[in-house]
Amino acid sequence: MAVAPAPRCVAVTGATGFIGTHLLDLLARRGIILRALTRSPRPHDARLTWIVGDLASGNGVEKLVAGATAVLHCAGAVRGARPADFDVVNVVGTRRLAAAAAAAGVERLLSLSSLAAREPQLSMYASSKRRGEDEIEHAGVPWTIFRPPAVYGPGDKELAPLLRMMLHGIAVVPGHPGRTSLIYVTDLVAAIAAWLDAPVVAGRRFELDDGMPGGYDWSDLIRIATELRGARIHRLNVPRRVLAGVGAANLWFGRALHLTPMLTSGKARELFHEDWVCNSRDIQQALGWRPDVKFAEGLRLTFPV
């Protein structure tokens, strides 16, 4: 009599965040045994075990990966006023996780990086994500890196305020003609699930987006939001010098008061970078994944009427 294969056990970091919560929901519905890192105790269920710990200290990391067949590294620091604010998770924490995964004999590791890693000179965040990728490359375990662009959807706290303001009639946007790709959160987690289902794809970096050729500029996004709103949206272009000034002030106050601001001078440079367009052709060919949700539909799903 054939013996049924043991169920996969997948370890997840960043499971309590925006992307992580959507990912856990999808994988749990697929019957995957999950182990996830959390800073504070949470109740377990039949398929999900919470491991108390964090990447910054390293507590719980070895326990998280022990016995796992795959590791999904979704944790990341996105706010800060000093390099250490980002590096503690994005670089040092990634190094700890990669070493623990290799020591535990994990079969594969997927690290969710950022398209910002393509331009590490722009900001402390972008630099930390690029150096985190370097840590993954030297992990000693078969690895894959995803570089998504801006991710949005229910539960998002970064793009949501800007999109909500658009739908209320005001678009406060950087005053430049650059273009960006986007991806809706359920498409991103579906790509992660596709990676789990596929044969091991090792040593590859993949950019992924919603499939819109050439991405979007601010006029595109405002036009789509106007169609959903059914009324005019007033556009306010913020000059680079203004956004850079606000970012520099936030950086100074953040360092003086030990705060972790989102908008800093580095983030302003990211916002005024004119090419955040990516192409998902390679990942589609490698994994058979296809995005389903372009911005018009994603905006409706994020802000249902």
Checking if the pLDDT of 4 tops 90, the result is: no
Tens digits of residue pLDDT in 51-83 = 999 999 999 999 999 999 999 999 999 999 999
Output the CA angle 290-146-51, nearest 5 degrees: 110
Q: Which residue has the tokens 């590490």?
A: 120
CATH classification number, 9-302, choose in 3.30.230.10, 3.40.50.720, 3.40.47.10, 3.40.50.10330: 3.40.50.720
Helix axes 124-137, 94-103, angle to 10 degrees: 10
- Give the model's pLDDT for residue 44: 84
Tens digits of residue pLDDT in 16-47 = 999 999 999 999 999 999 999 999 999 988 89
7 band by pLDDT with thresholds 50, 70 and 90 = low
Tens digits of residue pLDDT in 108-146 = 999 999 999 999 999 999 999 999 999 999 989 999 999
Please state the rounded mean pLDDT for residues 152-179. Answer: 94
Beta bridge partners of 145: 111, 205
Residue 268 CA to residue 282 CA, distance in Å, equals 30
Strands (E), the chain: 9-13, 33-38, 48-52, 70-73, 108-112, 143-147, 150-152, 170-174, 179-180, 182-184, 204-207, 234-238, 275-276
Tens digits of residue pLDDT in 226-279 = 999 999 999 999 999 999 999 999 999 999 999 999 999 999 999 999 999 999
From the list 47, 39, 32, the residue with the least C-alpha distance to 13 is: 39
Tens digits of residue pLDDT in 193-207 = 999 999 999 999 999
Checking if the pLDDT of 166 tops 50, the result is: yes
